[in-house]
Amino acid sequence: MRLQEEEEDPEWASYKLGIFICLNCSGIHRNLPEISRVKSLRLDFWESSLIEFMKNHGNLWAKAKYEAKVPPYYYIPKSCDCMVLRQQWISAKYERGEFLDTQVCQDPCSAGSREGCLWKLGKGRRQFQKRQFLLSAKEGVMKYYGKESKGPKAVISVETLNAMFQVEKIGHSHGLQITYITDGQTRNLFVYHESAKEIVDWFNAIRAARYHYLRTTFPNVPETELIPRITRSFVKEGYMEKTGPKQKEAFKVRWFSLDSQERNLMYFKNPLDAFAQGQVFIGRRDEGYEVRDDLPQKVCVKKKKPVITLVTPAREFVFLCENDSKQREWMDALNRIITQP
Ligand SMILES: *[C@@H]1O[C@H](CO)[C@@H](O)[C@H](O)[C@H]1NC(C)=O
Ligand SMILES: *[C@@H]1O[C@H](CO)[C@@H](O)[C@H](O)[C@H]1NC(C)=O
């Protein structure tokens, strides 16, 4: 059988749709028996009529049919993306037929308008509270409201709005982190919705609003440059220990989030804090930025842990990592930003 698939080694197939899929997607397809039926390429018996059916269909055929009209802002998940994104993509594509040729493609301005409730983590990080959210691509804002029906608690410009799924950090399989800039600082909101479809629809509505903003603000920027700027995920997150500016202070455990597009390394006392405790701009090598795996001169550290020294024109930051592989990952991630134009 000729495999028509981007996945390196698809070992499964949906014999109802006529497509080859990976193990992980086979689990998702199994839960949609109305539209998909799964067999293993190696372990299951294939009748000649099914083989013939697979030959006449295949992934390119399915893509042409089921992805005929994917809006430019719609997020197409990769294999590393979280479950809810992949599962909803498969449902949207095959079950709901949202991208069939017969569908009318919604314009970004109306797709970027949405109203409804989300569970939002409160300030004290103790509990999620049901809050009204309103997104308007036309006005270029997202708002959310407090318990009392007074004015909005925040009016967020779509200009700095970003959203990313954060399943582990939020501890919910539909957990979404929303960020925006207020008074020069990045503000985090952590939300979820019980419904997988709702939260993915919110995510794509935010993307539609961002796309509408970018398309109208930068009409001459080509689509291929615009799409990656719609939303972004942190390129690396995790715990490290850091000392203070004198480099003599006790090391404290902090949560770090690295934003490649903004060239910004933020650190938090708690991963779910609304605001960072501090942030470091990561410039280019020719501007004097550098990462090293040793300590600055005259600095000594009692703890036997792998070190990262981040050199910036203003000061040197010293971080301790949990182990060598974490040190490597952080250095690679920081180096990619330092060497990026
Ligand atoms: C697919 O991957 C997710 C993690 O992304 C995992 O939780 C799930 O168990 C996997 N499913 C299968 C069938 O491998
Ligand atoms: C390094 O530490 C992380 C936790 O911070 C752990 O998950 C990982 O397994 C460790 N790796 C090695 C090689 O010890």
Q: Would you kindly state where each structural domain of the chain is located, as residue ranges? A: 12-95, 108-229, 236-339
Q: Is 325 in the pocket of ligand 2 (CB under 6 A)?
A: yes
- The pLDDT value given to residue 2: 39
Q: How far is the CA of 174 from the centre of ligand 2 (A)?
A: 26
- The pLDDT value given to residue 143: 97
Q: Is 323 in the pocket of ligand 2 (CB under 6 A)?
A: yes
pTM: 0.92
Does 38 have pLDDT greater than 50?
yes
Cβ(327)–Cβ(292) below 8 Å: no
Instruction: Supply angle C-alpha 190, 191, 193, rounded to 5.
Output: 165
> Identical fold at 12-95 and 108-229?
no
The CATH architecture to which 236-339 belongs is Roll (2.30)
Cβ(207)–Cβ(75) below 8 Å: yes
CA distance 285 to 4: 43
Cβ(281)–Cβ(293) below 8 Å: no
Q: Ligand 1: which residue has its CA nearest to atom 3?
A: 83
Instruction: Indicate the SS3 state at residue 311.
Output: strand
Percent of the chain at pLDDT exceeding 70: 97
- The pLDDT value given to residue 73: 97
Contacts of 207 (CB under 8 A, 6+ apart): 73, 74, 75, 112, 163, 230, 231
CA distance 199 to 214: 22
CB-side neighbour CA atoms (13 Å) of 248: 2
Q: Give 12-95's CATH code, choosing from 3.40.50.720, 1.20.120.1200, 1.10.220.150, 1.20.1260.10.
A: 1.10.220.150
Q: What tens digit of pLDDT does each residue of 19-28 get?
A: 999 998 999 9
- The pLDDT value given to residue 300: 80
Q: How far is the CA of 88 from the centre of ligand 1 (A)?
A: 14
Question: Which atom of ligand 1 sits closest to the CA of residue 86?
Answer: 5
Q: Is 297 in the pocket of ligand 2 (CB under 6 A)?
A: no
Ligand nearest to the CA of 27: 1
Does 65 have pLDDT greater than 80?
yes
Q: Show the beta-strand stretches assigned E in the chain.
A: 12-14, 19-21, 38-40, 113-121, 128-136, 141-145, 152-157, 162-165, 176-182, 185-192, 236-242, 252-259, 264-268, 278-281, 290-292, 307-311, 316-320
Q: What tens digit of pLDDT does each residue of 144-202 get?
A: 999 887 889 999 999 999 999 999 999 999 999 999 999 999 999 999 999 999 999 99
For ligand 1, pick from 24, 31, 86 the residue to mutate: most ligand atoms within 8 Å of CB: 24
Question: Which atom of ligand 2 sits closest to the CA of residue 239?
Answer: 5
- The pLDDT value given to residue 1: 37
Residue from 65, 75, 98, 50 nearest 228 by CA = 75
Handedness of CA 224, 173, 166, 273 (dihedral sign): positive
Contacts of 1 (CB under 8 A, 6+ apart): 41, 51, 54, 55
Q: How far is the CA of 301 from the centre of ligand 2 (A)?
A: 21
Question: Which atom of ligand 2 sits closest to the CA of residue 326?
Answer: 1
Q: What tens digit of pLDDT does each residue of 225-274 get?
A: 999 999 999 999 999 999 988 888 899 999 999 999 999 999 999 999 99
Q: How far is the CA of 311 from the centre of ligand 2 (A)?
A: 25
Percent of the chain at pLDDT exceeding 90: 85
Of residues 247 and 69, more confidence is placed in: 69
Tokens for 162, please give them: 């970003």
Does 47 have pLDDT greater than 90?
yes
Q: How far is the CA of 156 from the centre of ligand 1 (A)?
A: 34
Does 6 have pLDDT greater than 80?
no
Tokens for 341, please give them: 């134009």
Does 7 have pLDDT greater than 60?
no
Q: How far is the CA of 321 from the centre of ligand 2 (A)?
A: 10
Give the range among 56-70, 76-90, 103-117, 296-310 with minimum mean pLDDT: 296-310
Q: Ligand 2: which residue has its CA nearest to atom 13?
A: 325
**CATH class of the domain whose range is 108-229:** mainly beta
Tokens for 277, please give them: 């405790």
Q: What tens digit of pLDDT does each residue of 96-117 get?
A: 999 999 998 889 999 999 999 9
CA distance 268 to 254: 6
Section 305-317 average pLDDT: 95
- The pLDDT value given to residue 123: 82
Q: How far is the CA of 326 from the centre of ligand 2 (A)?
A: 7
